[in-house]
Amino acid sequence: MADPLLKITNLHAEVAEDGTEILRGVDLEMEAGKIHAIMGPNGSGKSTLSKVISGHPVYEVTDGDILFRGESIIDMEPDERARAGVFLAFQYPVEVPGVSIANFMRTALSAKRGEEVDVFDFHDELVEKMEMLGMEPVFAERSVNDGFSGGEKKRNEILQLAMLEPVLAVMDETDSGLDIDALQVVSAGINKIREQNSDMAVLLITHYQRMLNYIEPDVVHVMVGGRIVRSGGPELAHELEAKGYDWVKNEAGAEAELARI
């Protein structure tokens, strides 16, 4: 078997400022082109995992490692990780007043490719991706996320995903705050991007099973108390939906319980 695309071993991470430990030994392996879902109750550390993979400075890795394409990325800056092919779709996309989506994306693409992207080529590419996602071209001239609705923010994340063509897309609760129509649009967008880029692996972080109706995972993991306590096929998501998180919490046993107390 080839090397996994992403290999996380015994990952421990804490909030740098106050030393609160959140990840307590995460192990995870993903191959290129696969879809993994991480589900878990609030406070289980699943969003933190997505930020630690992307290199958010608020968190400090205290033990373990993250190998991306066989190389450790834990000492890399967020921008280096992104250029290596890691993308994080934010649960709460950040507003950047005064910076247009077009300018933002052209700067990002230029950084990724290591040369200034031609304005006209870029524009064609952007319009094409926006059409694919059912977005109006005027959207590109708006300031990034500034005054956007929840649905617009999430769609903007998907547009960036489409433009940057990462190797690994980490989707942090992309479904949160979306009604069912918006969820369908966003999910369809992700599926279209996968059609064009079948090697892209997706790590879907979600609290609910509903997004998995539109994007079918190959593997489902359950995270509780800062570690993955159970992994299985897509049926695991349905089981969770039916039985609730208390079921895995109990199954996770005394160790996880103790850790949370």
Residues at the interface with another protein (CB under 8 A):
54-58, 77-79, 81-83, 87-88, 90, 93-99, 103-105, 107-108, 111-112, 143, 160, 164
Please, which residue, 89 or 220, has the CB nearer to another protein? 89
Please, which residue, 143 or 213, has the CB nearer to another protein? 143
Instruction: Work out how close the CB of 29 gets to another protein at its nearest, in angstroms, rounded to a whole number.
Output: 23
Instruction: Work out how close the CB of 109 gets to another protein at its nearest, in angstroms, rounded to a whole number.
Output: 8
d(CA 102, CA 198): 26
Instruction: Work out how close the CB of 83 gets to another protein at its nearest, in angstroms, rounded to a whole number.
Output: 4
Residue pair 218/186 in contact by the 8 Å Cβ criterion: no
Please, which residue, 89 or 237, has the CB nearer to another protein? 89
Residue 146, Cβ neighbours under 10 Å: how many? 13
238 Cα distance to chain centroid: 21
DSSP H helices, the chain, are: 46-54, 78-84, 101-113, 119-132, 150-164, 180-196, 235-243, 245-260
Of 61, 64, 62, 57, which Cα lies nearest the Cα of 7?
64
Please, which residue, 19 or 57, has the CB nearer to another protein? 57
For residue 111, give both structure tokens. 């950084």
Instruction: Work out how close the CB of 185 gets to another protein at its nearest, in angstroms, rounded to a whole number.
Output: 22
d(CA 56, CA 172): 13
Instruction: Work out how close the CB of 106 gets to another protein at its nearest, in angstroms, rounded to a whole number.
Output: 11
Please, which residue, 160 or 206, has the CB nearer to another protein? 160
Please, which residue, 69 or 210, has the CB nearer to another protein? 69
Instruction: Work out how close the CB of 158 gets to another protein at its nearest, in angstroms, rounded to a whole number.
Output: 13
- Please give the torsion angle defined by the CA atoms of residues 93, 97, 103 and 106, in that order, rounded to the nearest 10 degrees: -30
